[in-house]
Structure 1
């Protein structure tokens, strides 16, 4: 079968993309065809029901006779026709695109970001030999950035090709008049396409991205792509990234990049998504490719896909010389603090966290932190500990990654299972260490990360907290001070405070919504207070005795920076 997609964006202010899909050269004679739109995006493990943005699906034969299009489920249609009368089919539909995230499409008068799974229908039970995407853009739009292969451009009509449906979905496009610049590393062109503004000079941004590419390729050797595209959206309050085989989409608040901590965070995001070129897009759990785009693709190995990447991203920033040892250790300290503050680490294993990503990770609510642990967070910490372990066996995390890469190169058509990963760990260490790592992945016992960090001359410093930690988060909502979450077994939980409670006053003194960030600093330890709360329309008085101040991890320090840097290099 040959498929030609024609997308028209002549009125971008409407946020509508009009799509006509022409299908020809059917595999065999038949009188119906099943088509679908994906319900999720690889790399973002939540069913998102993209078909909700399509109003009507229409079908026509080669003579523009209308065909019956029957919707058979939430994201699938069946096109019917009389036996033998149809040689080609045209499918027509509109997609509303007005959500700017890395996993949705956004079209307005300034630009268009087209995310494949939200737009391009697929065909079931047909072998596809040719796919072309034709784009009809506003006359004043002069630039399109994508990893797809450009076949031709005439005026404001562009034509791209994809080798298969997977590549089409995996190749987002940025359209408009955005900034573009390219650089070459190892004879491969890397394009940086930036929509939006930042206060940081563009030449600094480009140079640092190029440095990160060189650093990662120093480990991974030859790039596994013909060319690569960084699509960047600098928009206030956005943060996120999504990996693709030959590109990535990065979203960040460009206003914050002159803040040093935020800039290092930005560099970590770039390094993270670029490393996914190898880890996830090629080295991958067996369940993640080939994909079933119509339902969840379950795996208990996101600790490898995202955990390993989360450890390597900041390490690449350090190795590139773009942050100091002190900045790197500050990031790791923050990670440990978040881990210690997550009660769910006692409840959910890394494997369970991976498997339940579809129903828990992307749907956080008031109790999430009490029953889950992030496979990004704990997975990254696990691989930091594994790196320390490997050092004691004369190896480092690089050797583990290169073994994973060799396994992919030996059998690129099939993803890995956990037994293969654990076998590599055993080969680099021993059977006892394999069992320990297995327990880390499938169990909930705490890992003594700090003892492993001592191998790299890294020590922890603890101090008494400056203010009380009551084990709850409070935020201002519509002029009210509301408890957002309550940590299990912490003071607020044990004192009977609930998520959803409104804090009105303490000891008869009003607490105002604008004090959401500082009200705990008003209180002394081991002191009884009268809390005035509102719950489900009732006002409650609770006499509560505050806890002692806790010891907190305040810093990770290297006692020998030369040794630490050498062991992390």
Structure 2
């Protein structure tokens, strides 16, 4: 009895301490039709001194800096008695309240009309919230719990979907700022489907498909069945599910043609925004985002680079490891759809083809390493700039670069060690992901050496292909699975113009790539092609015809406009560098039993064999 009373007293005291610390928000939508939300934040037990309240400039799952503060206005502050407090706006997204009591209330209006994984959007049909784009926070109080209450009175059939812990009366809980910021919210008249998954320890968890779309329930149920197959293949790679907080994982899916489109992973959920009229009829096209983002519930959300810990909300973290965090996820996203039967082997080969072409034929990969590509994410990951950059010549996306690295490592492990990339991912999960120990690149190298029992191989691979710019022998590696890597247009002339733009009879060049015939000829972005080989140019098809009439090594004269001045240059065609991956049996070659077995073990379902 004494023990019970002591426990009760401790619980009461804990609740009191909690109530003194919690930062609470109330969100209403009186003007949703014009894309506004009204937000009130109450901060108890405010320390003496200057109180700083700010909006985030970064977001979990994004790696570039974003200016969320630009959509905040009418920000005001009050004390416990409702008296207005003086505010100094010291930066675009920073507000200082130098004089205050121990309780402060901050209110503001938020405009949101961009539906993707990064920003917020409000209208009469839903409230779509990425937390950093929505909620201001007091600086220096990151460890305090958060409560958020939604009042959507008058919004017919709206209901809340989020990984935040539900309490009562449309109120939700987060233990601290980091968790809160990583918890997207969708409020709408959505449809849902769910299913249970059993972990290897016997514990059952629930996966939810939350869909705000113009589809009927049978479509949602059918789509959930497709996702089940996908989820099973993910489980087969890792050998177990993560332990989802509160036993739930949520796919928050918003589908509408005017959406911005996106996929954004979070610890126990993902925000997926798609630009189709609905799911029905587009099922296969939409699966890639689901697969990529779900793989992140292991890779990134728990198997996490040390460079992303803790996540900085004042500016973006710079990371060396996105080639694995995002790139390996990109590789598996498509591969697991093929293994699950939701995509074909030809679909997988098409994806591999894009990876190999990018890593072998772009100046960004030729001159910069996967680590350097990862570090450029602070500028590239949905970052907004009005000035032109030289990214086409200095950067290959860490998604593609990392996926090509994963492809090569997977094939090498299979050919040289009778291991797979699945084995490597499980080893990383056991060492760093499951215990949630943030890793470094040396940790990744060490684990590969331990898995292969060959530290020399691991050191060489990381030195050449992670820190360096060497390229794996993809032709040799792919042949093990009966795929031939060859030139797609041998002996065909190539000018290297890229994606030309034809407007009102003028053909305008994009940025040209280092090493291309166009670059060597001194042509660059914005040049208007007037003539080629003596022929007037008014359309892209005319350029294609002239190119097709020549051979590599031929030289032609080109006239063009540069800042209104007519100039002339000589362009020497090269051989088209584009590559293609073809199944050996489609080339007239022989698919040997060994090749077939290699291919099957790589691309077929792994569910029964794990």
Same fold per TM (> 0.5)?
yes
CA apart distance, 1:529: 4.5
Which of 148, 161, 165 aligns to 2:177? It is 165
What residue is the counterpart of 1:126 in the other structure?
Answer: 141
2:289 to 269, 288, 299: 269
Say whether the 8 Å CA contact 1:33–1:78 is kept in structure 2.
Answer: yes
Query: Could you tell me which of 501, 518, 524 is aligned with 1:476?
Result: 501
The 8 Å contact of residues 144 and 177 in structure 2, kept in 1 or not, is answered as no
Match 1:423 to one of 446, 452, 460: 446
Write the distance in 1 (CA, Å) between the matches of 2:139 and 2:212.
35
Task: Quote the offset at 1:180 in angstroms.
Answer: 2.4
1:185 aligns with 2:197: yes
* 8 A contact 1:465–1:552 mirrored in 2: no
User: Separation in 2 of the partners of 1:438 and 1:320?
Assistant: 31
Map 1:396-415 onto structure 2 (within 5 A).
396-408=420-432, 411-412=435-436, 414-415=437-438
- How far the C-alpha of 1:264 sits from its partner, in A, is 5.0
SS at match of 1:456: coil
Aligned residues of 2:212 and 2:253 also touching (Cα < 8 A): yes
**CA–CA separation in structure 1 for the residues paired with 2:449 and 2:541:** 47
**Residue matched to 1:331:** 351
Aligned counterpart in structure 1 of residue 470 of structure 2, from 442, 445, 455:
445
1:290 and 1:449 map into 2 onto residues whose CA distance is 37
Q: How many residues align?
A: 555
Q: Describe the superposition over 1:457-495 as per-residue Cα deviations: whole angstroms up to 9, x where unpaired.
A: 433243435964321224436544321121111111111
SS at match of 1:484: coil
**Retained in 2: the 8 A contact 1:307–1:378?**
yes
Q: Which residue of structure 2 aligns with residue 389 of structure 1?
A: 412
Find the counterpart in structure 2 of residue 251 from structure 1: 273
Q: In terms of mean alpha carbon deviation, does 99-108 or 462-471 score higher? A: 462-471
* Aligned CA distance change for structure 1 residues 400 and 265 (closer, same or farther; 3 Å): farther
SS in 2 for 1:442: coil
Q: 2:329 maps to what in 1?
A: 309
Deviations 1:535-567 (A, max 9, x none): 212233445444445563252547343431113
C-alpha distance after superposition, 1:304-355 (max 9, x if no partner): 2112211211221122122232321222112222333311112111111111
Deviates more, 1:377-386 or 1:133-142: 133-142
CA distance in 1, matches of 2:48, 2:389: 52
Is the CA contact 1:10–1:136 (under 8 Å) kept in the aligned structure 2? no
Mapping for residues 79-158 of structure 1, pairs under 5 Å: 79-81=97-99, 86-126=101-141, 128-137=143-152, 138-153=154-169, 158=170
| Offset, 1:302 | 0.8
Output the CA distance in 2 between the equivalents of 1:528 and 1:460. Answer: 29
- Secondary structure of 1:376 counterpart: helix
Q: Deviations over 1:200-257 (max 9, x none)?
A: 9444422211211122123331342121111223233754311001111123332597
Contact 1:326 1:557 in 2 (8 A): no
Query: C-alpha separation between the residues in 2 aligned to 1:505 and 1:30?
Result: 73
Name the counterpart of 2:562.
535
Aligned to 2:12: none
- Return the alpha-carbon distance in structure 2 between the equivalents of residues 400 and 165 of structure 1: 33
| Backbone CA RMSD of aligned residues | 2.7
Q: Distance in 1 between matches of 2:110 and 2:195?
A: 35
Stretches of structure 2 lacking an aligned partner (at least 5 in a row): 1-20, 199-203, 586-590
Q: Please state how far the C-alpha of 1:39 moved relative to its aligned partner.
A: 0.2
In 2, are the aligned partners of 1:232 and 1:251 still within 8 Å (CA)? yes
Question: CA separation in 2, counterparts of 1:556 and 1:536?
Answer: 48
The aligned residue for residue 253 of structure 2 is 232
1:565 partnered with 2:597: no
1:71-82 to 2 correspondences below 5 Å: 71-81=89-99
1:471–1:492 contact (8 Å) kept in structure 2: yes
Call closer, same or farther: CA 1:442–1:355 in 2, change over 3 Å: same
Within the candidate set 374, 380, 383, 2:397 is matched to 374
Give the conservation status (yes or no) of the 8 Å contact 1:531–1:542: yes
Residue 502 (structure 1) aligned with residue 528 (structure 2): yes
- Aligned match of 2:63: 45
Deviation for aligned residue 1:504: 3.7
Preserved contact between residue 2 and residue 128 of structure 1 (Cα < 8 Å):
no
Cα contact 1:474–1:516 (8 A) shared by 2: no
The alpha-carbon deviation at position 282 of structure 1 amounts to: 0.8
Where in structure 1 are there 5+ consecutive unaligned residues? none
Q: Secondary structure at the match of 1:22?
A: strand
Quote the residue 1:212 is aligned against: 230
CA offsets 1:263-307 (integer angstroms, 9 cap, x no match): 655322211100100110111110212212102212211112112
Tell me if the contact between 1:2 and 1:25 (Cα under 8 Å) persists in the aligned partners.
Answer: no
Distance 1:218 1:546, change over 3 A: closer
TM-score (norm 1): 0.90
